[in-house]
Amino acid sequence: MEALYECLGDIDSDVWQAAVEALKATEGEAAIIKALAHASTNVKIGAIRACRELKPVSRDVQEALVQLLGTDEYEVWQATVELLLEILHVRDFLDILFKHPDPKVRVGVIAIFSWKGIKGDSVIQALIKCLGSVEAVREEAAKTLNSFNKNEAFYKALENPDPSVRAGAAWALGRLHIATLETRKALQKRLGDDEETVRRAAAQALYELEGVNALTEVLLHQSVKIRIGAIQALGWLHINEPFVIEALKERLGDTDDLVRQTSAEVLRDFGHVSAIIDALDHPQHEVRAGAAKALCHLHVVSYPAVEALRKRLSDPHDTVWKAVTETLRRIGRIDIIEEALNDASPSMRGAAARALRYLGIKTPQVLTALKNRLGDDEETVQREAAEALSALGYDKLIIEALSSPEVQVRLGAIRAVEWLNLRNQSAIEVLKERLGDDESSIYESAAEVLIKLRGVGILSNSLSHPNPRVRARAAMLLQKLQITIPEARKALQKCLGDDVEAVRQAAAEALYELWGIEPLVEILKHSQSPKLRSGAAQALQWLRINDRAAIDVLKEALGDSHPQVHGQVTRSLFSLADLEAFIEALGHPASSVRAGAAQALGQLKVTDPAVITALQERLADSSRGVRQAATKALLAIGDLSLIIATLSHPNPSVRIGAAAALKQLKISDATVVTALQQHLSDPVLSVRREVADALFAIGGEAAFIDAFSHPIAEVRLNAILELQRFAMSPVALSELLKRLADEDDKIRHVAAGTLWKSGGIDIFLNALNHFDPRIRVSAIKFIQSLATVTPPVIAVLTECLADGNATVRQEAMEAIQTLGGTDAFIEALQHHKRKIRIAAARALGRLRPADPKVSLALRQSLSMHDLALSLAAAKALLAVSFRRFRLRKPQPHSRHRRVVRGGQQNGTTRRLIAWSALVIGLALLVVLAVRLTRAGNAPLTDSSPEEVVKQLEHPEPSVREKAIRKLQQWKPAQAIPLLQQRLADPVTSVRQAAIQGLFEVGGIDALLGTLSHSSPAIRENAAKSLAGIRHLLPDTSLTRVISSLQYQLADSVTTVRQAAFRTLFEIGGVDALLRAFSHPSTTVRTGAIQALREGRHTVPISSVTAPLQERLADSIVSVRQVALRTLLEIGGIDALFHALSHPSAAVRAQAARALGEIPEDHWQIIPKLQDRLSDPSPAVRQATKEALRKRLQRSHRRM
């Protein structure tokens, strides 16, 4: 049978026909059905052809053919379709589509419609229905409808009664990317569908087609269902974007409860309950009310939520505070409302009373609290408490409060009776009793209320009455009745020292009306009581008595030592007279009056030029107290700029006084330091000395160091001269060393002399290693001028012969020639460093000494092993020989013979020189040829590679150095690893030779590669050694070195970081360090700050304080923490105080937070933070409040 099946797939029609006949003869139609299910494609196609021979086609064969519609073999499917289209109608296919259990068959039927373009209405309806089927069928139906250009079918399907069809239609629109306006509107409408699956599908499709805006725009749709669906869609799709959160917050104020609840639930699901809490502060009262209801719906009882609700109790809009009140009740936090009755805010206390009235709570605790609120300091709170008690039906508690032991409660109860218009008899009786109250405010208020209610009056008391209002009334009565007895005068004078201003004012008016100005002058001159003297001065101000006698007595009173009296006299004099009176007082014979006048002008803060000039002149006053008062006054009027401006006063004494004032203030301000540095150029020596003392007191040595680089030469010169009077640190000496490169000769001379006094010859020898060639040149010149000939001096100068700078080499050559002569160069030819030997030979070639020893030494330097040295020695030998020929004296002959032989001698000399040059050139060519023939893969040394490697481990440092020099002739791939290992050598000279060898063999890349070596010791020594070859590096390579060293600041090993820090400072200066502070890499920024803390004594602190303050606002927490610790260590808590005034709001905020966290107790922390409460930045104010809270909490815990 299998063979017959195979024959069905034969391409020969005879074979196929025979197979069909045979199968029919054996099993009949059943055999054909089995062949339709055969594994072979050809067999199945042959079976389909056989089915055409069957007349008619039975039901079983049809079912077998229908099953093939689900096949994955296109040829089989196509043959099946062609046959079925002959024997079936469209309605039969529709029956298969609706009834067949196999989804693949249904997909095949839909494919027939698509392939044959069958678009009848019944087909379209069937395809729409298929949109609600399984995914494969749904997808095929959607594609077919789309191929028919039947978008309206999808829109129609969206209105289908079957929710699965609606969901499928929405899915199809998204899957097929049918992004039209009609699609958008239809899908948005489906967001309000009753079935969740439809809403989800529509949401997904909208998001895929139009993005999140298609969802957020319908949040304002007029249909409640659609708004709810859009909110749910945002939740289903997890679109947790800030603008979505804001849109959901807006919906909390929706008019529909279900919309508000859905918004709240989505915000909760997003984890943004805090957004609901924030919505309590929304500008729209509907949103605030909705947020409160949302918190109630979600039953959020967290502390932030409850605290936010508590604050909203005082909302001015009825819907908001009522919603908040209802929410607090439903979440069981009525206690919050009760506690709010005792809140510090009057509006909150009033709101709490209003809320309790709204809730109708009548518990004993609430009634007692409301009763106590009748004594509140604010009238609005009293009124709310009174209305609440009355609304709750407890007028009797108000009447009881009229007899309360608390004065404020009694007074509030009296006002409540007035507000509520309580005219019952019991209230009237208690008010009558209050007329006998000990407190005047009580009985006066009671009298006023009684007058309004029933009409009664009050009585007055005497000048000695404890009630100030009674005392004031007594004074007015004395004035009115014109009583002038001595007892009245004394009593009124005594009242000038009363604690209550109204009493004093009434007494002053009475005294002046009855006796004139005499009683007031008498008190100012002779009274022993400061309160009476202050009151008399105040009385003159109130009464506007500005005659000459009053002005003169007030001017003399400026010298009063009591601060209260002085302050009042100042105010009175300023009110009655002009500034000229104070300026005249500055010249008063009494120093106390002059000091008082200066102090008064400081209190008044008058910016009049005449006042400022007069105060500036007082800085030269003979009295120290006057000078101090003038200084404080100038600071109070303006700022330090006024004192700084005085440094330019034409009077030298005033300039000295200004400098002394700045020294006394010790305000570490950059402007002050800059001004003092500027005035180091003052022509008067005494002024310069005082300026220098002030500069050292304020800025210390660092200020002088900064002045070393001032653009004015005179400032630089005097900074060096004045700093000699103080002890100079190594940092100062290091900065002073840089002045050796100054453009001014006098400054260079003074700097050199100062360095000589401080460090002797050693400091100049060390300067020869400085990276700046100008400093090295100046150091060589100074050493030469000292004429100090010692072996160390000659040795260091010899090292300079190989300097990378031509000027340095020239100066070193001349200095050696002057100090050590030719012998020093001959010794240098035997130096252990190859480059020194070469440099010495070149120097001898330039100098061309006539000493025979030189020629001998140069000939000995001709070597087959060192081509460069041989070339240099050969050139020098040629130059020396040429000089010798030129200097040879002619033999005595007759004049004629001298002329003839002179010509012969000159020709002979030229021939000898030419032959010498030819011989030396041939010798050098032979040396070069020998060297080239020995070149190859093997190292260019006289030793084998194994011997050189062994010599690198030799105990003698000189042997190791020679081995390193031999390695320089190796190929880079062989030499670099060995040279890198030598960077861990314990001997400095070996390490330096290794770093130079690396540079010569592999260039800058080899050096920078060593910085990332696995060995910390090698990394450390590589970083240290880079400073020694700075002069060899071009600017481009130097930039790369600085960048690599900045990355080394992030090294995990402390010693490596410190080495990188020091080298970076030596090569790139402070600027390179500051750039590392703002490096893009977090680890580099952190490492740079840590390295600064570890090596801060090598860097001027003033130059890094500001960048460290900026790092307080770094985006990375770890960087901020390290910056804070470093700032505290190098600048103390004052550095944080200065950061509070930084231009950046972020820095100020971080500084405030840091002051809240640090454990130190400093008396200025609280005042400094309080000053920031008025900062223009909300973030700074918030950080300041939090810091103050933490400081106060810490203080309470210690108590």
For residue 939, what pLDDT is reported? 39
Place of tokens 């059943």: 30
pLDDT, tens digit, for every residue of 505-536?
888 887 888 878 888 788 888 888 888 888 88
The rounded distance, in Å, linking the Cα atoms of 1130 and 1134 is: 10
Residue 677: name the closest of 722, 646, 643 by CA: 722
pTM: 0.38
Structure tokens at 201: 């599908």
pLDDT, tens digit, for every residue of 72-83?
888 888 888 887
pLDDT score of 943 more than 70: no
The rounded distance, in Å, linking the Cα atoms of 22 and 1017 is: 94
pLDDT, tens digit, for every residue of 224-274?
888 888 888 888 888 888 888 888 788 887 888 888 888 888 878 878 888
CA 1004 to chain centre: 35
The rounded distance, in Å, linking the Cα atoms of 215 and 204 is: 10
Residue 33: name the closest of 51, 9, 16, 19 by CA: 51
**What band does 711 get if pLDDT is binned at 50, 70 and 90?**
confident
Other C-beta atoms within 10 Å of 828: how many?
27
**What band does 859 get if pLDDT is binned at 50, 70 and 90?**
confident
Structure tokens at 489: 């005068």
For residue 1100, what pLDDT is reported? 66
Q: What is the DSSP letter of 118?
A: -
pLDDT score of 888 more than 50: no
The rounded distance, in Å, linking the Cα atoms of 834 and 1092 is: 38
pLDDT, tens digit, for every residue of 458-492?
333 345 556 676 566 557 656 665 667 777 788 77
pLDDT, tens digit, for every residue of 591-641?
887 887 777 777 777 777 877 787 777 777 878 787 778 778 777 787 777
Q: 439-453, 553-567, 856-870, 1123-1137: which has the minimum mean pLDDT?
A: 439-453
- Amino acid identity at 625: G
Residues of the chain with CATH 1.25.10.10: 461-574, 1100-1199
Peptide bond into 242 cis (omega under 30): no
Output the average pLDDT for the chain: 76
Q: Which residues contact 244 (CB under 8 A, 6 or more apart)?
A: 212, 216, 234
**What band does 1034 get if pLDDT is binned at 50, 70 and 90?**
low
Structure tokens at 404: 């309360």
| Strand segments (E) across 224-325 | none
**What band does 897 get if pLDDT is binned at 50, 70 and 90?**
very low
Number of H helices, E strands in the chain: 69, 0
Residue 787: name the closest of 815, 764, 755 by CA: 815
- Which range of 805-814, 956-965, 1153-1162 scores highest in mean pLDDT? It is 805-814
Other C-beta atoms within 10 Å of 745: how many?
8
Q: Note whether 508 and 542 are within 8 A (CB).
A: yes
Buried b (16+ CB within 10 A) or exposed e, 571-592: bbbbebbebebbbebbebeebb
The rounded distance, in Å, linking the Cα atoms of 1052 and 1041 is: 19
CA 453 to chain centre: 67
**What band does 941 get if pLDDT is binned at 50, 70 and 90?**
very low
**What band does 938 get if pLDDT is binned at 50, 70 and 90?**
very low
Buried b (16+ CB within 10 A) or exposed e, 230-259: bbbbbbbbebeeeebbebbbbbbbbeeeeb
Q: Which residues contact 1020 (CB under 8 A, 6 or more apart)?
A: 1053, 1055, 1056, 1059
For residue 932, what pLDDT is reported? 45
Q: Which residues contact 394 (CB under 8 A, 6 or more apart)?
A: 362, 367
Burial class (CB in 10 A: 0-12, 13-18, 19+), 621: buried
Buried b (16+ CB within 10 A) or exposed e, 294-303: bbbbbebeee
Residue 445: name the closest of 398, 472, 410 by CA: 410
User: Under CATH, which architecture does the 1100-1199 domain have?
Assistant: Alpha Horseshoe (1.25)
Question: Please, how many CA atoms are within 13 Å of residue 225, restricted to the half-sphere of its CB?
Answer: 11
**What band does 748 get if pLDDT is binned at 50, 70 and 90?**
confident
Give the CATH class of 1-88.
mainly alpha
Residue 998: name the closest of 1036, 1041, 956 by CA: 1041
Task: Spell out the long-range contacts of 191-196 with Cβ–Cβ below 8 A and sequence spacing 24 or more.
Answer: 191/215, 191/218, 191/225, 191/226, 191/229, 191/230, 191/233, 192/223, 192/224, 192/225, 192/226, 192/228, 192/229, 193/163, 193/166, 193/225, 193/229, 194/163, 195/163, 195/166, 195/167
The rounded distance, in Å, linking the Cα atoms of 817 and 814 is: 5
The rounded distance, in Å, linking the Cα atoms of 983 and 1021 is: 6
Mean pLDDT value across residues 1081-1110: 72
For residue 465, what pLDDT is reported? 53
Sign of the C-alpha dihedral, residues 944, 945, 950, 953? Answer: positive
For 635-699, the DSSP string reads HHHS-HHHHHHHTT-SSHHHHHHHHHHHHHH----HHHHHHHHHGGG-SSHHHHHHHHHHHHHHH
Give the CATH class of 461-574.
mainly alpha
Mean pLDDT value across residues 88-94: 81
Q: Where are the alpha helices (DSSP H) in 934-1053?
A: 945-951, 957-967, 972-981, 988-1010, 1016-1025, 1035-1048
The three-state DSSP-derived secondary structure of 26-56 is HCCHHHHHHHHCCCCHHHHHHHHHHHCCCCC
Mean pLDDT value across residues 721-748: 79
**What band does 70 get if pLDDT is binned at 50, 70 and 90?**
confident
Q: Which residues contact 665 (CB under 8 A, 6 or more apart)?
A: 631, 635, 640, 643
Choice between 482 and 310, residue whose per-residue pLDDT is larger = 310
Mean pLDDT value across residues 1024-1050: 69
